[in-house]
Structure 1
């Protein structure tokens, strides 16, 4: 049986609240899962009346994160999580203010021993690194 303690540390970095010169419109949710058998989260982006990002993680045998947290971000609204003991699955849902087509959504992860740090980054479309670089100069 899996003896995996999974903990979700929700660290919302709102660049509106914390100055972030290179990525002024970016918002991040960082999740840290602990345990030797935690899977890389499967990400699904859903449109509709409640646009959202859904992350499914397996290999979890205990869960102690809050079921809901209001984010009140410029792009992110709410974060919810649910634990299904059967199958050892955690589902994290991140609410979006606008349809997903308004955003560039990216992820990255790092593994440190038995810890998986997974980051979801949401920024408005048109705020790409090339467009953030230097202001356009007229001739």
Structure 2
């Protein structure tokens, strides 16, 4: 069992946090938790999870991650809707990596009751 803090930044172990979503034991109940679990999947190189949680209409056929990319932290800056009571939501975040950061507002929707990533806008 992994006892290290989850890469998504929440103060739980990976297994208790994003690991349960990655394994399929649970689905992310909010857009923010899906976004956190997707960030964690980038950290772990889990392309299967990333593709499974991408909206069918915007999902690429394949995803090639750079194995040299080192993600170093996630900061949630804002969010709208995205709870159990919503069909859509947005999450604005900054994901840091060795040498820079990515600042994005991501859009999420529910498909068959599950949150999925639709797309995002890069911000300055």
Larger Rg: 1
Q: Which of the two has greater strand per residue?
A: 1
Higher helix share: 2
TM-score between both structures, scaled by the size of structure 1: 0.26
Structure with more contact order per residue of length (Cα contacts < 8 Å, sep ≥ 6) = 1
